[in-house]
Structure 1
Amino acid sequence: MTLAPERRQTLPDVNVRFSPDGTPLAIRHDGRIWMVDPDVHTAHWFTRDAWWETRTRAAVGTGDMVSVEHWQVQAKLPSASAELRTFTLRREPLATGWQLEALS
């Protein structure tokens, strides 16, 4: 029996608007714009891609092929009664767009 790497699940794409200092301000998801609450703590971190499982190859000098960027923010729809939701965003190495990793 041969073990093969699991196929990655496809995450939904989201558009993220950032402030000049690089902090998320708003997220467009599912046709709606969610405003990030600036008064609630945000988290920003990096993890490493499991390149040995994905078999991703790149030419020398291509750039960072293993750092996956993450943001976790609290955001809500722009109505007065909207509740905050937690968005966990993810950007793959060398990608220009963001994906929604989790929404709770």
Structure 2
Amino acid sequence: MSSKAQTREKDYERGLRIADSRKAIGLSQDELAHRVGIGRQAISAIENGGDFKTQTLDNLAIVLGVSVDFIMYGKNEENSELLSEAMDVLSDMDELQIRQCLAMMKAMKSVSVGK
């Protein structure tokens, strides 16, 4: 008898990469959760290998200054210096400015993908 809901295995290594990245930039789980736009318990679950939405993944990558590939697969950062610089700029902005930058980046990404 099969269940409708498939049980997914937790990805503990991914959670560890997220936790290590968070600690490397000096953020608590509460601070990361606030910047990503989710609750602290959700961050805790993610760092313990739990699943999350694509939007959360995108926001985590931006806030942590790492690539989506790094979070998901542990691939090395080619643009880590640029991402770090961008994170420094974003960390000095208020929420509205960050949301505006995020919208602009998504628009730029969709234009470059369409080429």
Range into which the TM-score falls when normalised by the shorter chain? under 0.3
User: Going by fraction, where is helix more abundant, 1 or 2?
Assistant: 2
Larger radius of gyration: 1
RCO higher in structure (CA 8 A, sep ≥6) = 1
